[in-house]
Amino acid sequence: MEMQSKVTGKGEPLVLVPGGLTGWLSWEPHAERLSATRKVVRTQLLNVQYGLENRSLPTDYSVETESRALETTLDKLGLTMPLDLVAWSYGAAVTLDYALSHPERVRSLTLIEPPALWVLRTQGLLDSEAKKTMEMLQTIKGDISESQLEQFMKSVGFVPPGKSAREMPQWPLFVQHRQSLRNSPAVVEHEDDLQRLRDFKRPVLLVKGTGSARFLHQIIDALAATLSNVQVVEMPAGHAPQVVSMDRFLERLAIFQAGANNQRQRIVGLRVNDSVLKNSSKIILFSQAGVETVTKDFAIVGAGLKCTSPGPSGPATFYEWWYLLSSHSWRRLIVPRSSELNGIITRNAKAQKVLNGYRAI
């Protein structure tokens, strides 16, 4: 089986796997911005496609069905190299399974509130609230009613406290997609092995939404305690932080992927004199690699960093790098050798964020 996909933009590929309710629509505004510098691939989960077509899911449908379909889709697109994968909710659970099965095809992995209940169940961490949610998910099958949709949205943290899902402006869209929720039993039934998490060494960014369901935060905490190369960030609001806090999410994603890419490209700093450090806001980076390698490794950061022409005062491998502080403001920053890094850059918090995780030599 194969997922539907949409490809926009040019550059290093970035794969966006959506949530299990409205599918790839949720990534549309992100793809529009990211495709300015990236080849962005948006996939459609099978359960969403089948739901919109009002078709029953295969009798043997599972998380692995979606994971294999993702693999087939990327194969047919010729994307067999290590990729940056970004996934939300049910799509994050699917993408986690894909990543654990194919770590060699992952460059970085960003997961937004995956309902990987097996992580809690395997470690005996299911509390009464999580068990109640699992029981509810087991009942959502067949012809999904609006009442079941409302119950689901409340359980996973889509609905602000004291509000009704029916009051949300997106309610008509949710109703249109409600048959997507026929996948719900598969979320509960999925099993995996904690050792696969321990063995996974690729960089992982886990994203929480403030005010989301407690069991989703517990899953992220359990994943963070088991994975070896992981960062955790929390931002507003609810189960869709990448939508509600899109600017902040895209900035954090760029920073994370820059650090992840740097694990492949070792960076060195250029020592500059005190007068330059005192009077300039630039950060200058150069690499031991040639310009083609450097450009390839960093161009994919998209709105985060870009490479310009060689600087006039450095060696042949001297390049200037720019960091996007806002949608309209590019800034250059200055990096000395790693031993001097913290004392000089701490006055620029955004610069420090960019540099976190860089390995200087």
| Residue pLDDT, tens place only, 81-103 | 999 999 999 999 999 999 999 99
Mean pLDDT (whole number) for 125-134:
96
Indicate if the pLDDT at residue 317 is higher than 80.
no
**Across residues 116-121, what is the average pLDDT?**
98
> What is the per-residue pLDDT for 263?
57
pLDDT, greater one: 272 or 9 = 9
- Nearest partner of 24 among 72, 76, 90, 100, judged by Cα: 90
Those residues whose C-beta lies under 8 Å from the C-beta of residue 166, and which sit 6 or more positions away, are 146, 150
Q: What is the mean pLDDT of the chain?
A: 78
Residue with the larger pLDDT of the pair 170 and 355:
170
User: How high is the pLDDT of residue 308?
Assistant: 36
Does the structure show a pLDDT above 90 at 296?
A: no
Of the ranges 146-150, 252-256, 334-338, the best mean pLDDT one = 146-150
pLDDT of residue 349: 43
pLDDT of residue 160: 81
- pLDDT over 90 at 284, yes or no: no
The hierarchical CATH code for the domain 4-262 is 3.40.50.1820
Domain coordinates in residue numbering, the chain: 4-262, 267-355
Q: How far apart are CA 22 and CA 184, in angstroms?
A: 14
Band the pLDDT of 262: cuts 50, 70, 90: low
Instruction: Kindly provide the residue ranges of all beta strands, DSSP E only, lying in the chain, ordered along the sequence.
Output: 4-8, 13-17, 39-44, 83-88, 106-112, 204-209, 230-235, 267-269, 284-287, 305-310, 318-326, 329-332
pLDDT of residue 259: 81
DSSP 285-351: EEESS-HHHHHHHHHTTTTSEEEEEEPSSS-TTEEEEEEEEETTEEEEB----GGGHHHHHTT-HHH
pTM of the model: 0.75
Q: Average pLDDT for residues 158-171, to the nearest whole number?
A: 90
Express each pLDDT in 50-77 by its tens digit: 999 999 999 999 999 999 999 999 999 9
